[in-house]
Chain A
Amino acid sequence: MVRHGASKHPLHDVAIVGAWNTRQALRLDEHTSESITLEAIRGVLDDAGMTPSDIDGISAASGSRGAGMSSGHLAYLMGIGPAWTGNAAGGGINAVLEAAQAIAAGECHTVLIAAGSAGVYTERASTAPWTRPGNEFVVCWGLFTAAEFALIARRHMHLYGTRPEHLATVAATIRNNGHINPDAVYTGRGPFTPADILESRMVTDPFHLLDCAMTSEGGCALVLTTAERAGNFKRPPAYILGGARDTFGPAYHFPPTWDLTGWVGREAARKSFSMAGIGPEDVDVCEFYDPFSFEIIRQFEAFGFCGEGEGGDFIMNGTIELGGRYPICTDGGLMSFSHGGATVQLVQRVITGVHQLWGQSGNRQVPDAKIVMCTNGGAGALFTHVLLLGKERP
């Protein structure tokens, strides 16, 4: 519960009233990034009981590398100008906090955030285009996102004795959530045991194939508005309790060393909890970003749910399963629900968090979920963004 006496924060006057996913699939051959983004926009407006005239700000997280539609293009197409437009590179929680700050500051009152990607990943002999860095001190070493995160995980294993079984338990838990989620790309693919994860082929040691996120296609959208206006729409408000962003450098450029970036997100979490007047023990659902299994262990440590180096043991014994104390990635996450491009999956951590607060998570609903922690990024990418959402107005 939100404790009384927490200082009033401007973000507490902002709520999420729209959260929508299109169909997600390994490929959406009938779609482009533009068409799937527009489908997400139509979907979220209909679900929230809105029309474009309710919107006066827009933030489009383009699918990938120029694909998708810009904020300005959408403002024109939807005829909602003069509109506020967001510039949050990468979308996701970055876009949510940028929009919430603009609303809290009075620059606009209702912001649509949309993302979509389809038809971007076509060269399947290589890893996905958004995972392949291009700069001169990385490109020649065969680096890609999974290897960057593996360098982080390996160092943690060396320092703290974290074991492949710990990583596999995380992956099995997330994939089992997706297994029972009818909307997940990998619905019905399980159930998985940690042994199943360890038996999948090695991709980049210590990550087996099933320790890694998938690549898929899809669209999604969110709508933020003022607490005052939130009652005008069909869905109940999910209030912003706090949020903050940590960055140590550009992703996939410098060596991702544990000493530099291992605790990225710690300050963001501290700030977020402080804004909300709560602590880790108050969180009901952990919609953490799960590009790779180890990232979940790292985040529990960085955010203060457990001590440094204790994350491996912390996640054992059902703690992170549905029905456990800190259920994670309740839709199946990036591993099983969807990783719909370069940025779609960033937004989807927030969407699933909102659905939990709405009680709309079906067979994966966490009973009486009141506070959700959503995250984006990871140590291998040198950034972590944090967002705390609540069912009750703080």
Chain B
Amino acid sequence: MTSSPQIPLPAPTRLSQPFWDACQRGQLLVQRCSDCDGLTFIPQPACKHCLSPRLEWTEVSGKGTVYSYTVVWRPQTPAFPVPYVVAIVDLDEGCQMMTNVVDCDPADVHVGMRVAAHFRRMSDEITLPYFRPER
């Protein structure tokens, strides 16, 4: 699939800006709790495991496994060329992330498939973390 530049892009918040800045550098960040060591994604104002406010950004490998997926044939808006694969990926470090799986036949995507992050620059401000089959 090729991503159209017209798709709606994220509007970063003060909380999420470091995540999107890192994507522009080709890094995937999640929050790590300084108290319980637990990981939190999507970005939150407190740890989802112990509610501590002491969160720090930490880089993860970007490798993971497809937890569930759906191949979309009727797009949300015409900006999304079909078919495209929406997936939830279990990152190896333990977080779950919503994404699109790209660079493969949608018919080959399956639960348990190994995937890796693949960054695509969409605008001056936004680079999106897609996933593709691990190589």
A239 to chain B minimum Cβ distance, whole angstroms, is 40
B76 partner residues in chain A, CB cutoff 8 A: 126-127, 131-132, 142-144, 147
> Could you tell me which residues of chain A, from 93 to 127, have a CB within 8 Å of some CB in chain B?
125-127
Contact of B75 among A137, A142, A256 (CB under 8 A): A142
A138 within 8 A of B: yes
B3-23 CB contact bits vs A (8 Å, 1 = yes)? 000011111110010000000
A31 within 8 A of B: no
B77 partner residues in chain A, CB cutoff 8 A: 125-127, 132, 142
CB <8 Å contact, B70 and A147: yes
A247-269 CB contact bits vs B (8 Å, 1 = yes)? 00000001111100000000000
B122 partner residues in chain A, CB cutoff 8 A: 140
B63-77 CB contact bits vs A (8 Å, 1 = yes)? 000011111111111
Residue of B nearest to A158 (CB): B111
A70 to chain B minimum Cβ distance, whole angstroms, is 28
Residue of A nearest to B106 (CB): A205
> Could you tell me which residues of chain B, from 86 to 103, have a CB within 8 Å of some CB in chain A?
86-88, 96-100
Which of A138, A140, A201 has most chain B Cβ within 10 Å? A140
B42 within 8 A of A: yes
B128 within 8 A of A: yes
Cα A345 to Cα B27 in complex, Å, equals 44
Q: How many A-B residue pairs have CB under 8 A?
A: 103
CB <8 Å contact, B70 and A150: yes
Contact of B12 among A131, A136, A143, A150 (CB under 8 A): A136
CB <8 Å contact, B100 and A141: yes
CB <8 Å contact, A141 and B9: no
CB <8 Å contact, B72 and A151: no
CB <8 Å contact, B71 and A140: no
CB <8 Å contact, B74 and A203: yes
Residue of B nearest to A127 (CB): B76
Interface of B is mostly: loop
CB <8 Å contact, B16 and A136: yes
A204 partner residues in chain B, CB cutoff 8 A: 70-74, 86
B99 partner residues in chain A, CB cutoff 8 A: 141
Q: How many residues belonging to A are interface residues under a CB distance threshold of 8 Å?
A: 35
B114-135 CB contact bits vs A (8 Å, 1 = yes)? 0000000010001010000000
CB <8 Å contact, B73 and A255: no
CB <8 Å contact, A255 and B69: no
CB <8 Å contact, A137 and B42: yes
Contacts A142-B7, A203-B73 given: A126-B67 contact, CB under 8 Å?
A: no
CB <8 Å contact, A155 and B68: yes
A55 partner residues in chain B, CB cutoff 8 A: none
B69 partner residues in chain A, CB cutoff 8 A: 151, 154
B97 partner residues in chain A, CB cutoff 8 A: 255
Cα A204 to Cα B86 in complex, Å, equals 9
B40 to chain A minimum Cβ distance, whole angstroms, is 11
A28 to chain B minimum Cβ distance, whole angstroms, is 24
Contacts A136-B16, A141-B99, A152-B68 given: A255-B88 contact, CB under 8 Å?
A: yes
CB <8 Å contact, B86 and A143: yes
B67 partner residues in chain A, CB cutoff 8 A: 155, 257
* 4 closest cross-chain pairs (CB), A and B: A136-B10, A150-B70, A142-B80, A155-B68
11 contacts between A and B (CB under 8 A): A126-B78, A138-B98, A139-B9, A140-B9, A142-B86, A143-B98, A146-B74, A147-B70, A150-B70, A203-B74, A204-B86
Which residues of A approach B to under 8 Å, CB–CB? 125-127, 131-132, 136-144, 146-147, 150-152, 154-155, 158, 201-207, 209, 254-258
